[in-house]
Amino acid sequence: MEIKEIKAIRVLDSRGVPTIKTFVKTENETGSASIPSGTSAGLFEAYELRDTKSKDYFNLDVSKAIKNVNTVINKKLKGKFVLDQEDIDNTLLELDGTDNKSRLGANAILSVSLAVSRAAANELSMPLYQYISRLNNNNNFKDPTPLSNIINGGLHSGSNIAFQEYLIIPKFKEIEDSVKSMSEIYHSLKNIISKEYGPSSTNVGFEGGFVPNFKDVNEENPLILIEKAIKDAGYTRKEIGLGLDCAANSFYNEKEKKYFLNNKNYSSSELLDYYLDLIKKFKIKSIEDPFFEKDKKAWQEFSKKVSSSINVVGDDLLVTNPALIKDAISKKYCNSLLLKVNQIGTLTESLNAFNISKKANWKVIVSHRSGETEDNYISDLAYGINADYVKFGAPSRGERTSKYNRLLEIKEIKS
Ligand code: 2PG
Ligand code: MG
C-alpha cells in the first residue's frame, strides 16, 4: 500500500480553463482527482498557482502546479503508506511551508491530497464515501438536502442581476425525490422564462442556471419567476424552500462603503433591512455571503436579527479556513459553513473545518465551484461526512449532474 508514483496532467474545467488532474499510483491501484476553480473567490482562499507570466491559455495555465506535483511532491511522498492521510497532508503542508500554500499551489496540493484518498479507498476495495466516513469516524448517513442554483446572476452570468445565485431547496428525505423536483421545477422555469422573455433568455450561466434578460433591474424578479415555476411543476412552498447566494463582495464598493443593486446604492444597514423584507416576502431559508467579507459588523447584526430562523452561510467570509471559522463562531458572524475543498487545500483541513462547525451546531453545505470538472469527489465527501446540504448547481450541464448522479449511485451501492 505504498505510494509508487504521483503524476499530474492538465485538463480543462467547465469554463474552458486549464486545471490540474493528479494520479496517485500504488502497487495495484490508482486514485485520481481533478481540481475545481472559483470565479467569485474570497480574498483569503488558499493560493491557486497559475502561470501568470506565460501567454499560454491567456495567463491561466497550470504548468507550474503540474511540475510541482511531478517533481518535488512525487519525490517526497514516494514510499509513504497511502492510508496515512493525515500524515501525508501534513507532509504536504510542511513541504510548501507558506501560510496560504503559495509555494507549491493549493491546486497542486489538493489534487494530491484527494487522489491519495481515492487510491486508499481503492486499495481497501471500499467506495470513496465509506473511506471518508472512516477517516472522519462517522457512522451516520442520510441524504443531503440540495441547494440548486436555477437562476444565475452576478459574476456567473452576463445579466443585470447582482445576486449570484437563486437557489431552490427541496425538502424531501430521499435524494431521488429531490432530484426529480429540481428537474421538474427547472423545466417549468424554462417554459415560463421562454414565454416572458423570449427563447434566448433560456441560455444558461456558469452553473447551469438560467440568465433571463430582465427588462427592469429588480432582485425580486427571479424569486417571483421561481415561485411560479414551483407552483407550475405541482409543488408547494412547504416542499421547496428558497435561498440566495448574494456573493456581496462582487457588488460592494469599498471606497464608498456602499452596495450597488437594484440600480441604487445601499448602506450596510439599508441592505440588512432589504434582506429582512425579502426573507419575509419570499420565505427565504438560506442566505450566503449577504455582506462584503470585511463588513463584519453587518454580518453580526444580521445574524443577531435572524437568529436561527434561517441559515446565514459564510463562504467568502470563512474560505473553509479553521481559524476563520473559529473566529466566526465566537463572534457569531453566521451559523453555517460553505465547505469548498479548494479554498483550504487538503482533505484533512477540510474535515477539520467540518468538525469545528458541527461542534458549534452549525449547518454545513458541501459546495462545488463555478469552474468544475466532471469529477464527483464532493458527492462522496458530502455523504461520507453526513453533511446537511450540498450545493452543486442546476440539474443541468455534465459537470453539475455528475455530482447529483453520484449521490443517486451511492444510494444504490449502499442498499
Ligand atoms: C460560490 C461559488 C459556487 P465560485 O460563490 O458559492 O457557487 O462560486 O466558485 O465562483 O466562488
Ligand atoms: Mg458563494
Q: Give the number of whichever ligand sits closest to the CA of residue 288.
A: 2
Our CA dihedral for 191, 197, 203, 206, rounded to 10 degrees, sits at -110
Which of 40, 317, 337 should be mutated for ligand 1, with most atoms under 8 A from CB? 40
Question: What pLDDT score does 167 carry?
Answer: 98
Ligand 1 within 6 A of CB of 68? no
Separation of alpha carbons 36 and 20, rounded Å: 9
Domain boundary among 91, 125, 159: 125
Question: What pLDDT score does 311 carry?
Answer: 98
CATH number of the domain where residue 89 is located = 3.30.390.10
Which parts of the chain register pLDDT below 70?
none
Our CA dihedral for 193, 243, 288, 378, rounded to 10 degrees, sits at -90
Q: Which residue has a Cα nearest atom 2 of ligand 1? A: 369
Distances (CA, A) of 97 to 87, 90, 102, 106, 159: 15, 10, 9, 12, 41
| Cα distance between the two ends of the chain | 29
Cell readout for 116 is 491519495
Closest C-alpha among 11, 87, 188, 128 to residue 384: 128
Ligand 1 within 6 A of CB of 293? no
Ligand 1 within 6 A of CB of 343? no
**Cα(40) to centroid(ligand 1), Å:** 6
121 shares its domain with 150:
no
Question: What pLDDT score does 159 carry?
Answer: 86
For residue 149, which atom of ligand 1 is closest to its CA? 7
246 CB-side CA count, 13 A:
29
Cell readout for 154 is 452576478
Which residue range(s) make up the domain with 48? Answer: 5-125
Q: Is residue 27 part of a domain?
A: yes
Q: Which residue has a Cα nearest atom 3 of ligand 1? A: 369
Ligand 1 within 6 A of CB of 370? yes
345 shares its domain with 210:
yes
Cell readout for 380 is 462522496
116 shares its domain with 167:
no
Cβ atoms 290, 299 nearer than 8 A = yes
63 shares its domain with 152:
no
Distances (CA, A) of 309 to 63, 284, 286, 312: 47, 10, 9, 9
Separation of alpha carbons 50 and 30, rounded Å: 26
Cβ atoms 204, 397 nearer than 8 A = yes
Q: Is residue 132 part of a domain?
A: no
374 is catalytic: no
Closest C-alpha among 108, 95, 4, 101 to residue 63: 108
Q: Is residue 72 part of a domain?
A: yes
CATH number of the domain where residue 355 is located = 3.20.20.120
Q: Is residue 222 part of a domain?
A: yes
Residues near ion ligand 2 (CB < 5 Å) are 245, 288, 315
Domain boundary among 96, 125, 154: 125
Q: Give the number of whichever ligand sits closest to the CA of residue 40.
A: 1
**Cα(367) to centroid(ligand 1), Å:** 8
Q: Is residue 56 part of a domain?
A: yes
Q: Is residue 52 part of a domain?
A: yes
198 shares its domain with 303:
yes
Tens-digit pLDDT profile for residues 174-192: 999 999 999 999 999 999 9
361 shares its domain with 238:
yes
Distances (CA, A) of 75 to 7, 68, 282: 11, 10, 55
Cell readout for 165 is 445565485
Separation of alpha carbons 330 and 302, rounded Å: 15
Q: Per the residue annotation, which of 45, 207, 288, 349 is the catalytic one?
A: 207
Distances (CA, A) of 208 to 175, 288, 392: 19, 19, 10
Q: Is residue 374 part of a domain?
A: yes
**Cα(152) to centroid(ligand 2), Å:** 12
119 shares its domain with 26:
yes
340 is catalytic: yes
Q: Per the residue annotation, which of 340, 363, 391, 403 is the catalytic one?
A: 340
250 shares its domain with 278:
yes
Separation of alpha carbons 60 and 52, rounded Å: 6
Q: What is the pTM of this model?
A: 0.98
176 shares its domain with 36:
no
Cell readout for 192 is 415560463
Total structural domains in the chain?
A: 2
Ligand 1 within 6 A of CB of 152? no
Residues paired with 389 in a beta bridge: 145, 365
Question: What pLDDT score does 401 carry?
Answer: 98
283 shares its domain with 388:
yes
Ligand 1 within 6 A of CB of 211? no
**Cα(180) to centroid(ligand 1), Å:** 24
Ligand 1 within 6 A of CB of 41? yes
Cβ atoms 240, 226 nearer than 8 A = no
Ligand 1 within 6 A of CB of 85? no
Residues paired with 149 in a beta bridge: 167
**Cα(122) to centroid(ligand 1), Å:** 30
For residue 393, which atom of ligand 1 is closest to its CA? 7
Q: Is residue 339 part of a domain?
A: yes
**Cα(316) to centroid(ligand 2), Å:** 6
116 shares its domain with 183:
no
